[in-house]
Amino acid sequence: MCQQGRILALSLLLLCPLCESHGSMYEPPSRNSLGLNLLGPTCAGGACQWYTQGATIGCDRPSGRFEPTEKDCEEGAEPTLVWWRDTDLLEYETDGHSPPVNTTYFPWRYPGSAPVFDACGTAGGGVPPLGQLDPPPGRRAGALGSDPSQAPKLLEITIWEAGSVVEVAWAVAANHGGGYQYRLCPASEPLTEECFQRFPLQFVGDKQWIQFGNGLDTSKRFEIPAKRVGGDKVIPFGSSWTKNPIPGCVINGAREKEPCLGPTSSPPLPFAVFAYGQGSAKGLFGYGGGHCMGNQTVNPDVKCTDTEYRAASFDFGIVDKVRVPADLPPGEYVVGFRWDCEQTKQIWSSCADVTVAVRGSPSTKPFSPQKGCTACCNPVGGLCANCTGCLHDRTGACAYCWTPQVWWDGVRHWSPRASHVQCLGFESEDGGASVWDVGDPVGIWSPGCPKCWRDKGGCEEHVRELVVSSSNIFFEKEKQEEDKVTWWKGALAWIAGGSVVVVGLTLALTVFSTNFGRTGYQQVSP
């Protein structure tokens, strides 16, 4: 190799640790957001900074490092998704670096089999010196998402009816393909990978939706085909995983401000042209806001302008429907989201709290708004909950409340994704949260604690907006019909004195009720 080639290869390897994907669950709202809406939906409150670095299929533990190798352990496992059979589920044969590394043992090649540091994510990808040392504002690298003092339970309460079909959603901040799964773990148990693997949620149907309006506007959603995989190709065996439907960019992946040279596969929504930094090709694809992330120490040119960052960032979410098990005991549960990447040895994890209610109960309306007061009010893990007595005091312990909590814990070679967070001092006129959107100049953002503290009930747990699901309506109609049949059976038995005639009439009535009495009440997805 010539000297110039060696320098180029070395530069690319130096950049590799910063070529990472990011994504997070936002419906139901996750603990990893810390209750903040800054940079939603792709990375609300830094939710996309909770992940595992150095994950290889079949290994006992993650390495915590970026290694330019196919796998990080000797034993490992063999991939279950292979190119000669599963091309519709795969996007990347190599990682796009120079020299290229095969993705054979990267997490998506055997969904669910690669290890994680924490089932709810680890801030910055690992415990220092491992990981990439890029935690969200107010947290140190190595914080565990399963620890409520680091990722607190939100004040907003989400309710799911047992046996119902509910909507869930996540968003991509930096795209490396792969696929994902939603799971449950009883809140009373340790939030381990083993617990979540006991309760995988099954996807419903073969459709999913791209939802725009910062991922929240249900009137701006488009149906697309979903690609599911299960059986013996995944862990847990027989569970259901779904491929990330957004193709990335060929060759370099469009990382480090490199151009997007086209999609890795046929993109969804081919009727439209989207910006996202990929030019004028039709369809929805690209790398996302991560296009503008990079090590400015190695290459100052990787930093984007505000306009470039806005153009590259995704403003949509990916919506699926999952079924809540009908036999699930009512109570408190934690929803786990796991995204196994294909182009990198990384796994993104998010956790959210839900209350499972008995059949016939109303469920939370998906994408209903939040008050956003968890950071200000939750005494366990609330980023600004210790600032209630500091509105007019900036000294001593109160100095923290007037000090910016910066992205990446002050590591300066990264470009901040959004404004830095300061508990007090930058509220809107009514004392609520600052207004900041992707592409606005980076400054200081405050979550609106004075309004939370002032408003009645602002610091109390509250149930999000409820709706009666179609499964609820079906359940009530079914119960009414069963009650009618029971009444007539009793009446006929009384009239006929238990004669054989009763049996015939009862059977006839049951058949009639089944075939005609329930017309129009077949269960459908909400």
More confident residue, 348 or 469: 348
Tokens standing for residue 138? 């107010």
Residue 478 belongs to some domain of the structure: no
Q: Which residue has the higher pLDDT, 243 or 66?
A: 243
296-325 pLDDT, tens digit per residue, is: 777 777 788 898 899 889 999 999 999 999
Confidence of residue 481 (pLDDT cuts 50, 70, 90): low
pLDDT at position 196 over 80 = yes
Where is pLDDT greater, at 409 or 294?
409
The pLDDT score that the predictor gives to residue 21 is 55
Domain-embedded: residue 189: yes
Structural domain range at position 176: 22-357
Structure confidence at residue 220 as a pLDDT band (50, 70, 90): very high
For strands 50-53 and 122-123, give the pairing: antiparallel
Bond before 236 cis per omega within 30 degrees: yes
- Environment class of 6 (CB within 10 Å of its CB; exposed 0-12, middle 13-18, buried 19+): exposed
- The reported pTM is 0.86
The whole-angstrom separation of Cα 418 and Cα 238 is 40
410 domain residue, yes or no: no
Share of the chain above pLDDT 70, in %: 84
The arithmetic mean of pLDDT across residues 126-152, rounded, is 94
pLDDT at position 261: 84
Q: Which two tokens stand for residue 324?
A: 């809540």
418 has a pLDDT exceeding 80: yes
Of the chain, the end-to-end C-alpha distance in Å amounts to 60
Please report, for residues 177, 244, 473, the alpha-carbon distance to residue 188 in angstroms, rounded to integers and kept in the order given.
Answer: 33, 31, 31
- At residue 161's C-alpha, the angle toward residues 158 and 162, to 5°, is 130
Give residue 497's pLDDT band: very low, low, confident or very high (50, 70, 90).
Answer: low
Phi-psi bin for 478: left (phi > 0), alpha (psi -120 to 50), beta?
alpha
pLDDT band at residue 74 under the 50/70/90 scheme: confident
Residue 473 included in any domain? no
Q: What is the pLDDT of residues 267-276, one digit of tens each?
A: 999 998 888 8
Higher pLDDT, 301 or 469: 301
Q: What is the mean pLDDT of residues 104-132?
A: 96
Model confidence at 413, pLDDT cuts 50, 70, 90, reads: confident
Classify residue 307: in a domain, yes or no: yes
At 492 the pLDDT is 52
238 belongs to a structural domain: yes
**Average predicted confidence (pLDDT) for the chain:** 86
- d(Cα 381, Cα 404) in Å, to the nearest integer? 17
Please name the helix (run of DSSP H) or strand (run of DSSP E) that holds residue 15, with its range, or none: helix 3-15
Pairing of strands 363-364, 165-174: unpaired
Distance (Å, whole) CA 444 – CA 240: 41
The number of distinct structural domains making up the chain is: 1
Tell how strand 156-157 and strand 462-463 pair up.
parallel
For residue 207, being part of any structural domain is answered with yes
Residue 163 has pLDDT above 90, yes or no: yes
Q: What is the mean pLDDT of residues 470-474?
A: 52
Alpha-carbon radius of gyration of the chain: 25
% pLDDT > 90, the chain? 67
210 — pLDDT class (breaks 50, 70, 90): very high
Using a 10 angstrom Cβ sphere, with 0-12 exposed, 13-18 middle and 19 or more buried, the burial of residue 75 is exposed
* 231-244 pLDDT per residue, tens: 999 999 999 999 99
Q: Is residue 181 part of a domain?
A: yes
